[in-house]
């Protein structure tokens, strides 16, 4: 009896991961098999524990001289007879869930490509990016895939479904990148990617849940939301990082199709260009090490030959230089960016127009919530055909304060109070009271 | 409660307690031939360093020892660790470390995976390539 009990206990402990003699551990070759095996072991261990509990009851009954037979003793649930075992089982169940989630996220093995995504719903006296609308609005359903293709090949696809001003659902292949990673210092991507200017545009994408704030700075909004920067480029992107003494240097070089302005919005020309224009540029950054851990600073620049859809097509050369910093730690997330435009008319030939835009966002990660504040300003020259052709290409300033609550690891509730004023073209101002519930899966 | 049964229950509790105590020591281990310094270990598990020369590094998490690892090595909590990987996955198309249940699973993985790295809550055998002890 003693030997049997010992064997049962050792078996249970082995499954629980607490104690296991060498030779009893059977490791599966791949992770999916291992998860399945663990689940089966968990089932077996539950049965063993129930049997063990019943057997102990039986022994106790016999020793006490009772006439009750073992068959008449109902197996008590483990939680009643052994809280420690139940606690361990709960822990194992939790670990199995984590393993399943984690391995699904990793996407290894032959179980197919895992689908990840983001979604959000907003409510407010205006919608976040359309001051002419109010009430509840569907933000976006954003799905992305990053399959593991081998040691060096990488891929990332992001498909977004958004609701436009008319309430129509519009699918958009926001990113479609295939890349080859030579080393940590060099990866080349081709396809449609986020143009690597500044920090925000490559750090935050369409999934609103991972962004601290409720909405992007207005001038960096995506093209179809009214942003005035060429957020997406279709072409090639060479990127990497090189460790230095205390930190590392990061770089980006890119070239792609020159954008066009169509129906008042910037069009990245994902299907190719018919005018031969191109965008090219780069970004050079420095990520500090121990000394100022969490701080990144850098400069970026791009030049693009952009057309519009006027009867007499205008070609504008857009030159942009920017500086930025981001301080991202356990306690803080501070981001600042400033850009200068020097745009020249090529056809017809025109003067150079200067414009600028920038923002500063400060956020504090507190235990119960993350309050943030942001100021943004864009002074856009209305004589510049690049801005004049864009529906939302007017100057403005906006100040906002907000609060982000992380409900759990995968969902966040955000509130924002904002004041926006358009300072030219159509001068107007309004206050926002916004709420957004954002999730990822 | 009968003395023998009580003895068994005490054994159970002691075994569980001993496993917790053993988790105080943390060993970062890698497949043979992989050599990392302390700064590299952090970078590997945060996705900042993915190659050692031409070898692709494949980190795995050990759920049994993860709280200690996050506290001692990465110096961040689980929420920030998870969020960090979500952002990296979304930004750069890389995937987070696979999760292993315990030391035995990690050892099995790194033995068979070139470039594999993990961490253990108990001291491994001498034949295992230990690249850091915390």
**Above 60 in pLDDT, residue B15?**
no
Q: Confirm whether B12 is domain-assigned.
A: no
Quick one: pLDDT at residue A416? 97
Confidence of residue B122 (pLDDT cuts 50, 70, 90): very high
Three-state secondary-structure class, residue A233? strand
Helices and strands (DSSP H and E) totals, chain B = 5, 7
| Chain B residues closer than 8 Å to A155 by CB | 93
Quick one: pLDDT at residue A70? 42
Quick one: pLDDT at residue A95? 59
| Chain A residues closer than 8 Å to B79 by CB | 406, 409
The β-bridge partners of A361 are: A335, A374
Kindly state the tokens that stand for A347. 């056809």
Q: Confirm whether B95 is domain-assigned.
A: yes
For A208, what's the count of Cα atoms within 13 Å in the CB-facing half-sphere? Answer: 28
SS (H, E, C) B87-127: HHHHHHCCCCCEEECCHHHHHHHHHHCCCEEEEECCCCCCC
Kindly state the tokens that stand for A105. 């996220």
Q: Confirm whether B16 is domain-assigned.
A: no
Q: Which of A25, A34, A105 sits opposite B96 (nearest CB)?
A: A105
Q: Confirm whether B18 is domain-assigned.
A: no
Q: Confirm whether B34 is domain-assigned.
A: yes
Calpha distance A343→A354 (Å, rounded): 7
Q: What is the DSSP letter of B73?
A: I
* Cβ <8 Å between A84 and B79: no
Q: Which of B15, B76, B92 sits opposite A13 (nearest CB)?
A: B15
Quick one: pLDDT at residue B27? 94
Q: Does B45 reach chain A within 8 Å, measured CB to CB?
A: no
Calpha distance A368→A370 (Å, rounded): 7
Quick one: pLDDT at residue A1? 46
Mean pLDDT, range B106-116, rounded to an integer: 94
Calpha distance A24→B112 (Å, rounded): 18
ipTM of the complex model: 0.76
* Cβ <8 Å between A9 and B11: yes
* Cβ <8 Å between A34 and B105: yes
Is there a cis peptide before residue A290, judged by omega within 30 degrees of 0?
Answer: no
Three-state secondary-structure class, residue B11? helix
Calpha distance A185→A182 (Å, rounded): 8
Chain A residue closest in CA terms to B95: A106
DSSP string over A20-48 = --TTS----SSHHHHHHHHHHHHHHHHHH
Q: Does B63 reach chain A within 8 Å, measured CB to CB?
A: yes
Kindly state the tokens that stand for A75. 């197996």
Q: Which of A19, A155, A184 sits opposite B51 (nearest CB)?
A: A184
Quick one: pLDDT at residue A166? 83
| Chain B residues closer than 8 Å to A105 by CB | 85, 89, 95-96
Quick one: pLDDT at residue B77? 85
Calpha distance A116→B95 (Å, rounded): 11
Spatial neighbors of A311 by CB under 8 A, at least 6 apart, are none
* Cβ <8 Å between A184 and B4: no
How many Cβ atoms sit within 10 Å of the Cβ of residue A117? 19
Residue A9, min C-alpha distance to chain B (Å): 8
SS (H, E, C) chain A: CHHHHHHHHHHHHHHHCCCCCCCCCCCCCCHHHHHHHHHHHHHHHHHHHHHHHHHHHHHHHHHCCCCCCHHHCCCCCHHHHCHHHHHHHHHHHHHHHHHHHHHHHHCCCCCCCCCEEEEEEEEECCCCCCCCCCEEEEEEEEEEECCECCCCEEEEEEEEEEECCCCCEEEEEEEEEEEEEEECCEEEEEEEEECCCCCHHHHCCCCHHHCCCCCCCHHHCCHHHCCCCCCEEEEEEEEEEEEECCEEEEEEEEEEECCEEECCEEECCCCCCCCCCEEEEEEEEEEECCCCCCEEEEEEEEEEEEEECCCCCCEEEEEEEEEEEEEECCCEEEEEEEEEEEEEEEECEEEEEEEEEEEEEEEECCCCCEEEEEEEEEECCCCCHHHHCCCCCCCEEEEEEEEEEEEECCEEEEEEEEEEEECCCCCEEEEEEEEEEEEEC
Q: What is the fold of A116-440?
A: Porin (2.40.160)
Kindly state the tokens that stand for B88. 């990296």
Residue B46, min C-alpha distance to chain A (Å): 13
pLDDT tens digits along A50-98: 776 666 666 666 655 544 444 444 444 444 456 677 666 666 655 555 5
The one-digit pLDDT tens for each residue of chain A (441 residues) are 444 545 444 444 444 444 444 333 344 445 566 666 677 777 776 666 677 666 666 666 665 554 444 444 444 444 445 667 766 666 665 555 555 555 544 544 455 677 889 999 999 998 888 888 889 988 889 999 988 788 899 999 999 998 887 888 989 999 999 999 999 999 999 999 999 999 999 999 888 899 999 999 999 999 988 999 999 999 999 999 998 988 999 999 999 999 999 999 999 999 988 877 899 999 999 999 888 889 999 999 999 999 887 777 788 999 999 999 999 988 999 999 999 999 998 888 889 999 999 999 999 999 999 999 999 999 999 999 999 999 999 999 999 999 999 998 899 999 999 999 999 998 999 999 999 999 999
* Cβ <8 Å between A31 and B77: no
| Chain B residues closer than 8 Å to A154 by CB | 92-94
Spatial contact of A376 and A416, defined as CB atoms under 8 Å apart: no
Q: Is B128 left (phi over 0), alpha (psi -120 to 50) or beta?
A: beta
Q: Which domain holds residue B66?
A: 24-133
| Chain B residues closer than 8 Å to A330 by CB | 76-77, 80
Calpha distance A131→A412 (Å, rounded): 23
Quick one: pLDDT at residue A274? 82
Q: Does B52 reach chain A within 8 Å, measured CB to CB?
A: no
The chain-wide mean pLDDT, for chain B, equals 84
Three-state secondary-structure class, residue A260? strand
Q: Does B128 reach chain A within 8 Å, measured CB to CB?
A: no
Q: Confirm whether B66 is domain-assigned.
A: yes
Quick one: pLDDT at residue A14? 41
The residue among A378, A371, A284 whose CA lies nearest residue A334 is: A371
Give the count of Cβ contacts less than 8 A between chain A and B.
121
Q: Confirm whether B7 is domain-assigned.
A: no
Residue B67, min C-alpha distance to chain A (Å): 13
* Cβ <8 Å between A98 and B63: yes
pLDDT tens digits along A346-360: 888 889 999 999 999
Quick one: pLDDT at residue A69? 45
Quick one: pLDDT at residue A79? 47
How many domains does chain B fold into? 1
* Cβ <8 Å between B86 and A210: yes
The residue among A304, A329, A338, A319 whose CA lies nearest residue A198 is: A338
Q: Is A300 left (phi over 0), alpha (psi -120 to 50) or beta?
A: beta
**Above 50 in pLDDT, residue B19?**
no
| Chain A residues closer than 8 Å to B5 by CB | 56, 59-60
Residue B66, min C-alpha distance to chain A (Å): 11
Residue B110, min C-alpha distance to chain A (Å): 12
Quick one: pLDDT at residue B115? 94
Q: What percent of chain B has pLDDT over 70?
A: 83
CATH of residue B99's domain is: 3.40.190.10
Q: Where are chain A's structural domains?
A: 2-106, 116-440
Interface of B with A in 64-123 (CB under 8 A): 64, 76-77, 79-80, 82-83, 85-87, 89-102, 104-105, 108-109, 112
Residue B56, min C-alpha distance to chain A (Å): 6
pLDDT tens digits along B57-99: 999 999 999 999 999 999 888 888 988 898 888 888 888 999 9
* Cβ <8 Å between A82 and B15: no
Spatial neighbors of A137 by CB under 8 A, at least 6 apart, are A121, A122, A123, A127, A128, A130, A163
Quick one: pLDDT at residue B21? 41
* Cβ <8 Å between B77 and A181: no
């Amino acid at each position: 009896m003693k030997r049997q009990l010992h064997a049962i206990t050792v078996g249970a402990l082995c499954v629980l991961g607490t104690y296991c003699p060498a030779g009893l551990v059977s490791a599966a070759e791949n992770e999916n098999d291992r998860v399945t095996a663990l689940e089966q072991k968990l089932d077996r261990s539950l049965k063993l524990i129930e049997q063990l509990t019943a057997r102990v009851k039986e022994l106790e009954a016999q020793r006490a001289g009772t006439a009750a037979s073992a068959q008449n003793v109902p197996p008590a649930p483990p939680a009643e007879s052994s809280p420690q075992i139940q606690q361990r089982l709960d822990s194992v169940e939790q670990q199995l869930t984590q393993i399943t989630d984690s391995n699904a996220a990793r996407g290894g093995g032959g179980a197919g490509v895992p689908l990840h995504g983001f979604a959000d719903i907003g409510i407010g006296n205006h919608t976040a990016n359309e001051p002419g609308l109010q009430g509840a609005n569907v933000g976006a359903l954003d799905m992305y895939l990053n399959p593991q293709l081998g040691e060096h090949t990488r891929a990332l696809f992001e498909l977004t479904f958004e609701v436009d001003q008319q309430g129509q659902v519009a699918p958009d292949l926001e990113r479609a990148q295939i890349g080859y990673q030579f080393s940590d210092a060099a990866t080349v991507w081709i396809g449609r990617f986020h143009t690597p200017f500044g920090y925000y545009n490559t750090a935050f994408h369409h999934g609103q849940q991972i962004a601290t704030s409720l909405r992007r700075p207005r001038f960096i909004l995506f093209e179809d939301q009214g942003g005035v920067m060429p957020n997406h480029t279709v072409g090639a992107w060479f990127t990497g990082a090189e460790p230095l003494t205390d930190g590392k240097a990061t770089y980006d070089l890119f070239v792609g199709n020159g954008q066009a302005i169509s129906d008042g919005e910037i069009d990245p020309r994902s299907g190719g260009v018919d005018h031969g224009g191109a965008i090219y540029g780069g970004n050079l950054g420095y990520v500090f090490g121990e000394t100022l851990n969490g701080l990144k600073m850098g400069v970026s620049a791009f030049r693009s030959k952009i057309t519009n859809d006027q009867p007499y097509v205008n070609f504008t050369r857009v030159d942009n230089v920017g500086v930025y910093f981001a301080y991202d730690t356990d306690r803080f997330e501070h981001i600042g960016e400033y850009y200068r435009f020097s745009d020249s008319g090529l056809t017809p030939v025109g003067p150079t127009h200067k414009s600028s835009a920038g923002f500063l966002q400060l956020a504090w990660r507190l235990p119960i919530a993350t309050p943030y504040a942001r100021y943004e300003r864009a002074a856009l020259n209305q004589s510049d055909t690049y801005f004049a052709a864009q529906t939302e290409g007017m100057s403005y300033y906006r100040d906002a304060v907000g609060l982000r609550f992380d409900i759990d690891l995968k969902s966040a509730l955000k509130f924002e109070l904002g004041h926006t004023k358009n300072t030219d073209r159509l001068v107007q101002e309004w206050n926002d009271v916004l709420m957004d519930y954002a999730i990822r899966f | 409660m009968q003395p023998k049964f009580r003895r068994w229950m005490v054994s159970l509790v002691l075994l569980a307690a001993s496993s917790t105590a053993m988790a105080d020591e943390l060993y970062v281990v890698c497949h043979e031939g992989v050599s990392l310094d302390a700064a590299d270990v952090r970078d590997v598990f945060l996705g900042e360093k993915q190659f050692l020369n031409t070898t692709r590094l494949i980190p795995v998490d050990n759920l049994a020892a993860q709280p200690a690892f996050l506290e001692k090595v990465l110096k961040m909590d689980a929420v920030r660790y998870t969020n960090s990987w979500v952002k990296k996955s979304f930004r750069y198309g890389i995937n987070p470390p696979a999760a292993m249940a315990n030391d035995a699973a990690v050892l099995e993985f790194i033995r068979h995976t070139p470039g594999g790295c993990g961490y253990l809550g108990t001291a491994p055998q001498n034949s295992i390539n230990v690249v850091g002890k915390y």
